[in-house]
Structure 1
Amino acid sequence: MEHIVRFEEITEETVLDAIRLSGTLLKGQERAVASNAVSIAQAHFAKNAWFRAIYAGDDMVGFIMLDFTPDPRMKDVKHASMWRFMIGGKYQKMGYGRDAILLLIEYLKAQGYEKLFTSCIVNDPSPLHFYLKLGFVDTGEWDDDEKILMRDL
């Protein structure tokens, strides 16, 4: 499947663009996701983190970060957790978020992953319905004030 977005490593030349992208979130959304600056810093100290900028053409439109630390409860099921995901405010409602998740699913499936987890707040504004439309299901579990969702790959 051809995608309108792609993942690119964040470099010395693009890190400030990634950090500034957090400032474009729509009103209230900054409560739903940590800033990209915090995420990039955490990723550099987390041994199983993977993070990328999301591009559409020449424009950085978003940020994604995964954690590949195995959860012992999952036993032999190969899984990943989407730790952070955001699309810049002026790029929302253009299909970039949906396409980025579909690209991620293809990427993980090609590596033999079976499940993808994420979590989100449920207060407005919440990305819950976005995730549910993409096939995530409510696990019934919570991580502090965030609902844990899972998608079979």
Structure 2
Amino acid sequence: RPETEAHGPVVLIGALRGLALAGTRPARLADRLTELLRTTALPPVHDAVYCGFRPDTRTLTWAHASGPAPLLFRGGTGRGLTRQDESSGQAEATLEPGDLLLLHTGALEPAAVELLLSLAPRLTGAGCAQDVVRIVARELGGLPGRQDACVLLARVTP
């Protein structure tokens, strides 16, 4: 199975894409992905956040096992999105034009997350997503744990 390991990220992305296109809700993606990966040499995925977005209603649906909650920046303020509903295992948030959504790995220390939230006025005022990435990279550059951290940004357009 060395060829499976070498193409691990491609297999993982393909599996997630297929599950999402089949209509699998974010709360079920973790279980379904685990089922699929059992047949490969790839390790299980832990601490992931699974998101779906409906552009027509601007609804973000998300779920996670034990990973960090997405951060939402709006109008100069930032906050962590609320935890999911225990019965459904997922949460929803309605996003507005101009909102900035920041997903990050658990490798960021709590102090780094607090720093990100304190940057809300600068992040929401940035001209483009590339500017936001520059600010985040510059500010997190000297903090512990940032070497293994991954940050994904999305700005909601009108």
**TM-score, scaled relative to structure 1:** 0.24
Task: Please state which structure has a larger fraction of its residues in strand.
Answer: 1
Larger radius of gyration: 2
